[in-house]
Amino acid sequence: MSLEQRINAAWYGRPGWLLLLLPLSYLFRCVAALRRYLISAESCGAPVIVVGNISVGGSGKTPAVLALADYCRDRGYQVGIVSRGYGGQAPHYPYLLDHKTTPSIAGDEPCLIARRSGFPVAVAPDRLAAAKLLVNEKHCNLIISDDGLQHYRLRREIEVLLIDGQRGFGNGHCLPVGPLREPVSRVNDVDLCLINGGSSTLEGHTMSLIGNVAVNLSQRNRRELKDWPDDERRVHAVAGIGNPSRFFNALREHGFDVIEHPFADHHSFVASDLQFGDSLPVIMTEKDAVKCASFSEDNWWMLPVDANIADEFFEVLDMLLASRAPIR
């Protein structure tokens, strides 16, 4: 077991040996609290919805952001999306994505969002600067921040917390003993909670990820998973996301015999990473596909997913938008 796997096992199980770092965890918690109350928030010129989490790793933020952006656009908002651009190195910041932007410039998630949705997307370590760019140059009247719950310099009108229903808050400790960026009590301050996969122990609105159609990376043809040939159901499954097991389990639920290939979140793929010494099909996440399309082979597929969110969530969101972010 690698060090990363050992740490994850301790974060989402019993902390064990990590308890030796408990003083650092208390220090981290204090610093997080001080940042929240000492940093002065500044408006970008438009209302902001922040979609984020308090734990390290994936919780389904990107599909949730896309679902919220579509919903708000349908209600008349000019939506723009900001992100840090993790994994990319832009020539300048803030940086506005276009159809030529690659993950090496803006990061995998912003590229996925821009290509999938057509919304204007800007990246910058300073999300306030990215949001101002979208307001001033794209005339957006609603900004959605992909992650950034802890980026307190950007004033927000609505906070949406994503929680992985399978892993919850792990062992409940802040970094480095546990996976939390802020203590669990932060949940009490957000406006809405989305539980990815649902949970019998966590309070919030249920969200599920739906992915039934694979897309070929080379030819762009689509194939429903239920129509996948029986003699090709043994596949290599590739996932460089926060919780790869969720992806692998989803494929198994569709009847695939999965050979797992987990990679670190935001892994920078090269062609040799996906050479497995046979001709079996490869199925990867959409987030990984944006980095692999340039060297894809004929039997490589991606599985896009959409967020299916409970109606009650949008009923509350409508009330919040009407009171805090009316269209002007």
Question: CA 125, 167, 178: angle at the middle one, nearest 5?
Answer: 60
According to the annotation, is 55 in a ligand binding site? yes
Q: Is 91 exposed, middle or buried (0-12, 13-18, 19+ CB in 10 A)?
A: exposed
Given a contact cutoff of 8 angstroms between Cβ atoms, the answer to whether 192 and 158 are in contact is yes
If one counts every other C-beta atom within 10 angstroms of the C-beta of residue 303, the result is 22
CA-to-CA distance for 13 and 29, rounded, in angstroms? 20
According to the annotation, is 56 in a ligand binding site? yes
According to the annotation, is 107 in a ligand binding site? no
According to the annotation, is 58 in a ligand binding site? yes
If one counts every other C-beta atom within 10 angstroms of the C-beta of residue 240, the result is 23
Location of structure tokens 């940042």: 35
According to the annotation, is 62 in a ligand binding site? yes
According to the annotation, is 57 in a ligand binding site? yes
Given a contact cutoff of 8 angstroms between Cβ atoms, the answer to whether 164 and 156 are in contact is no
Name the CA dihedral angle for 290, 295, 297, 301, rounded to a multiple of 10 degrees: -10
CA-to-CA distance for 83 and 128, rounded, in angstroms? 10
Helices 61-74 and 108-117 cross at an angle (nearest 10°) of 30
Which element (helix H / strand E) includes 160? strand 158-164
If one counts every other C-beta atom within 10 angstroms of the C-beta of residue 224, the result is 10
Q: Please, which residues bridge with residue 256 across strands?
A: none
According to the annotation, is 235 in a ligand binding site? no
Given a contact cutoff of 8 angstroms between Cβ atoms, the answer to whether 300 and 218 are in contact is yes
Instruction: Give Cα separations from 128 to 51, 135, 271 (angstroms).
Output: 15, 11, 36
- Binding-site annotation: residue ranges for ATP: 55-62
- Binding-site annotation: residue ranges: 55-62
